[in-house]
Structure formats: structure tokens, C-alpha cells
Structure 1
Amino acid sequence: MTAAELVVDGVVLTAGARRLVEDVSLTARPGEVIGLVGPNGSGKSSLLRAVYRVLRPAAGQVRVDGADTWSLPARRLARTVAAVVQETGADIDLTVREVVAMGRTPHKRLLSGDTAEDAAVIASALTAVDAVGLADRSFGLLSGGERQRVLIARALAQRPALLVLDEPTNHLDIRHQLDVLGALRRLTATVLVALHDLNLAAYYCDRLYVLCEGRVTASGPPAEILTPRLLAEVYGVASEVVLHPRTGAPQVTFLPGSRPTS
């Protein structure tokens, strides 16, 4: 698995007359973990859809290693970019192992069977998300958190150069949130991930892009941009931010009932 450079250059996304994302630019260097944070409706999911080629920009470009993603053949794109999205149904009549094996499809010829390499990659992906014990179970009978881990394993099995994830820790308990984000942190691939939990984003991401009303409000290392002033402007709440004494990462505490001061 190699790592790709992602460049989002002046992207505008629309839905009818409404603008979802306005002139957003973003760069993820090879091997970086880049976090998208911001309130609901800020444009995070829309921007990710443009990156994994579901929502075509009205203006601007998304480039992976210099190539416009919309110009890439579908098979090459599937070998390069993998996505874990929020809207995935549970009505898949396959075992967990079979679902994860789907991630190997871009690397195989039509109707070819699994090789020893495929089996090793699938086993590694299941191990990374603590799903080995689920391998023979029906995907449709899993809990929401279990399904989420399996879908992440499928993306890992794809061995992409760029991995895009939309709220991958949704439905996961604390242990599996840490396991999944730790696995992403260890990848050689470039990772673009939308997260709601600012403390997880601060610990696991190299840099953050803060979106608000479809625009990038701030970007940079977590310790530089996660400030009470920015959180008040973007989220409308008061907070305290300190560096954790053991991890060195910024730790955000929101203050319920308090209003931000100017």
C-alpha cells in the first residue's frame, strides 16, 4: 500500500440553487491523516463525496497524485481511493469475510478466485478492526458498530493509496473507536476523515480543516487551531483547551450552560 497526494482546489459543490461547499481548498500530503471537523451541515460529507467521486464539483478540481479524479478510469480510481460512508444498508446477504473480500475486487480479474495474497490481506484487515471473530457471521445480522468495523475492514482490504472516511467512529464503543483510529494512524496510505469528536481528531490527525457553512474557517495542526475563540465562532459554545499532560495533544472541554465571551 502506497500513499497518494490529495489536492482539493477551489471546489464548489451545489444542490440545485443551494451551495453546499464554497471555494474549498485542501491538501493532504502522502501518508498524512487529515481531519475534517465542523458542525452539522458545514459541508464535510459533501466535500468527501466530491473526493471519492460521487458528487461532481460545479467548479474546481479534486486531484490525486496530480490526476483529476473525474478523468480516471473507474478501475484505476478503485485501486487508488477507498471510501467508508455513513449511508450503508444492512441488507447484504453475505458473510463478513465475503464482504471484506469485496475490497479485493479492483485488484482481480473478472471471476478469478481468491489467492493466498488475498486471503492474507483479508485476514489482516479483519484483525485491524478486531473482527476476526465475526468472519463467518452474516453481515445483515450484525449490530451497527460491528457493521461499521467490517466496512472499514473492506476499505483496508482494498489497499488504497487514499482512504476517505465519513464519521467512521459512529456506532463504535470507546475501545473500538481507539482501535480503528489507531489502525488508520498506522497505515502508509493518506487518510482524509471527517470526525465529530474533537479530542479524537486532535490526537490522531496531523492537521485539521475546520468547515463552517461550506467554507474552510481554519486549518493547521490541532494545537494551533483548536482554541476557545475558534470553537466559540464555529460551534457557538464556551470551552477550555489544554494540552494533555501525557499525550501532548490539545484536549477540549466544553462548558455546558456557558456562553462564549468575546
Structure 2
Amino acid sequence: MTATALVIDGVTLTAGARRLVRDVSLTARPGEVIGLVGPNGSGKSSLLRAVYRVLRPATGEVRVDGEDAWSLPVRRLARTVAAVTQESAAEFDLTVREVVAMGRTPHKRLLAGDTAEDAGLIASALAAVDITELTERPFDRLSGGERQRVLIARALAQEPALLVMDEPTNHLDIRHQLSVLGALRRLPATVLVALHDLNLAARYCDRLYVLDDGEVVASGAPADVLTPVLLAEVYGVTGEVAVHPLTGAPQVTFLSGPPDPGGPAGG
């Protein structure tokens, strides 16, 4: 697995007459963890779908390692890009190991069995998200959080150069939120991840892109992007941003709902 560059250049996405994303540009250098943040309905999931080739841009281009992602052969795309989506709730009549092993499919000939290398990568993926003890459990009998970790493990087993993740910490308890995002930081891959939790985004992402109403309204290092002004303008809440004493990352504290336009911030 070797990390690759991602460039989203002037992408507009539509659904019928409705505009989902307008003229969005984003870059991710090899090995970076890039966070997409913003309110519900801001266009985060739609933009990710354009990267893993579910929603074709009306205008603009998505380039992976310098090539148009929408022109890549399907097998090559599958060897390069892995996705963990919010629509991954399929009922698999398979064991946990069998679901994770599906991640090796793009790297194998049709009907080929697992090699020793495959087995090692599958075991490593299971361990990375703390589900080794679930290996032989039926996937369809797992909790929501356990299923989420299995699908993340499947993506890790795929050894992608670019990993795209839509709210991967949904359904996870705090311990597993931290372990999954910590595993992403250690991957030799480029990661584009949509997150709701601003403190997790600030701690684990190299740079953030803030979407609001389908447009990028701010981008940069977490410390530069996450400000009380942005929280008020984009999220409609009053908050403070401090430096975490241990991690050095910005730490957001929410104080109240929408700021009072007739009074001081936080009042």
C-alpha cells in the first residue's frame, strides 16, 4: 500500500434540479488525513460519493494520483480506493472473517483462495479494529458498532492507497472511536474522512475542509479553521476553542445554542 494524492477540482454535484455541492476544490497530499466537517446536509456525503464513484460530477474533476477517477478501470479503482460508507448495512450471510476477506478480492484472480499474505493482512485488519475475537461470528448477528468495525477492517484489508470514510465513528463507543481513528493515523494511505465530532476531527486530521450549504467555507489546519466565529456562522452555536494541554490540538467547548444577536457572544 502506497499513499496517493487526491485532487477534487471545481466539482459540482446535482440530483435532478437540486444542487448538492457547488464548485468544490480540495487537495490531499499522499499520506495526509483530511477531514470533512459541516452541518447535516452540507454536502459531505455527496462529495465523498463523487470520490468513490457513485455520484458523477456535473462539472469538475476528481483525480487520483493525477488521473481522472471516473476514467480508471473498475479493477484498478478497487485496488486503489476503498470506501466505508453510511449505506453499508447490507445483511451478509457470512462470518466476520469472510466479510473482511472480501477486501482482498480486487488483488486476486477470480475464485482464487487466500494466500498466506492474504491471511496475514486479514488478521492484521481484524486486530487493528479490535474484532479478532469475533472472527467466526455471523456478521448479521453483530451489534451496529461491531458491524461498523468489521466494515472498516474490510477496507483496511483492501490495502488502499486512498481510503474514503463517511462518519466511521458512528455507532462506536469512545474507546473504539479513538482506536479506529488512531489506526487511520498509522496507515500508509491517504485518508479523506467525514466527521461530525469536531474534537475528533481536530485531533486526528492534518487539515480540515468545512462545508456549508454545498460549498467550502473554510479550509486549513484545525487550529486555523475551528474558531468561535466559524462555530457561530456555520453551526449556529456559541463556543470556545482552547488548546488541549496534552495533545496540543484545538478543543471545542460548546456553551449554548444560537448566539443572541442582541447580546454578547455566549450571553
Normalised to the residue count of structure 2, the TM-score between the two structures is: 0.97
> Structure 1 residue 87: deviation in Å?
1.1
Matches within 5 A, 1:77-226: 77-226=77-226
Question: C-alpha separation between the residues in 1 aligned to 2:100 and 2:257?
Answer: 45
Question: C-alpha separation between the residues in 2 aligned to 1:78 and 1:125?
Answer: 17
Answer yes or no: is 1:11 the counterpart of 2:6: no
Matches within 5 A, 1:218-237: 218-237=218-237
Letter in 1 for 2:136: D
Could you tell me which runs of 5 or more consecutive residues in structure 1 were left unpaired when the two chains were aligned.
Answer: none
Question: C-alpha separation between the residues in 1 aligned to 2:226 and 2:257?
Answer: 20
Could you tell me which runs of 5 or more consecutive residues in structure 2 were left unpaired when the two chains were aligned.
Answer: none
Question: C-alpha separation between the residues in 2 aligned to 1:213 and 1:12?
Answer: 12
Question: C-alpha separation between the residues in 2 aligned to 1:118 and 1:258?
Answer: 51
> Structure 1 residue 88: deviation in Å?
1.7
Which residue does the alignment assign to 1:23?
23
CA deviations over 1:95-141 (Å, ceiling 9, x no partner): 00000000000000001000000000000000000010010000000
Question: C-alpha separation between the residues in 1 aligned to 2:239 and 2:68?
Answer: 40
The secondary structure found in structure 2 opposite 1:208 is: strand
Letter in 1 for 2:19: R
CA deviations over 1:146-200 (Å, ceiling 9, x no partner): 0000000000000000000000000000000000000000001000000000000
Question: C-alpha separation between the residues in 1 aligned to 2:89 and 2:213?
Answer: 28
Question: C-alpha separation between the residues in 2 aligned to 1:83 and 1:95?
Answer: 20
> Structure 1 residue 246: deviation in Å?
1.0
CA deviations over 1:200-228 (Å, ceiling 9, x no partner): 00000000000000000000000011000
CA deviations over 1:39-90 (Å, ceiling 9, x no partner): 0000000000000000000000000011001100000000000000001224
> Structure 1 residue 24: deviation in Å?
0.1
Letter in 1 for 2:56: R
Which residue does the alignment assign to 1:242?
242
Which residue does the alignment assign to 2:253?
253
> Structure 1 residue 143: deviation in Å?
0.2
Letter in 2 for 1:168: P
Normalised to the residue count of structure 1, the TM-score between the two structures is: 0.99
Letter in 2 for 1:125: A
Q: Which runs of 4+ in 1 moved over 2 A?
A: none
Q: Is the 8 A contact 1:90 1:139 kept in 2?
A: no
Aligned-residue CA RMSD (Å): 0.9
Letter in 1 for 2:134: L
> Structure 1 residue 257: deviation in Å?
4.5
> Structure 1 residue 256: deviation in Å?
2.5
Answer yes or no: is 1:69 the counterpart of 2:69: yes
Q: Is the 8 A contact 2:9 2:62 kept in 1?
A: yes
